[in-house]
Amino acid sequence: MKQPAVYILATGRRGTLYIGVTSDLVARTWQHREHVVEGFTKRYDVTTLVWYELHGTMDTAISREKQLKKWSREWKLRLVQEANPEWRDLWDDIVG
């Protein structure tokens, strides 16, 4: 899925959230899942893809990421809940 995307990873329904932006959602999600890159998601084991949004350009994806990072935790939880009520891992959806 080589298209700019904003995504949210989580440790669970009420766990730790991570918001990121990428030009290749499959590759980046795999890196998080396999702990390939040092950082927040590796340190806190945040590996479950629970939400993503595709964009036409990297500029719009980056703008959206910045917007979401300013949101309250409750708004972020609601965003995921509305799109993915079961909080299932969307990994199979993006690689399938």
Task: List the domain boundaries for the chain.
Answer: 5-95
Which run of H or of E encompasses 89? none
Structure tokens at 57: 């350009």
- In terms of CATH architecture, what is 5-95? 3-Layer(aba) Sandwich (3.40)
- Using a cut of 0.85, tell me whether the model's pTM lies above it: yes
pLDDT number for residue 9:
98
**Separation CA 90–CA 17 (nearest Å):** 15
pLDDT number for residue 1:
67
pLDDT in tens, the chain (96 residues): 699 999 999 999 889 999 999 999 999 999 999 999 899 999 999 999 999 999 999 999 999 999 999 999 999 999 999 999 999 999 999 998
**Residue type, position 11, single letter:** T
The whole-chain average pLDDT of the chain stands at 96
Using the CB atoms, write b or e for 28-49: b if 16+ within 10 Å: bbebbbeeeeeeebeeeebbbb
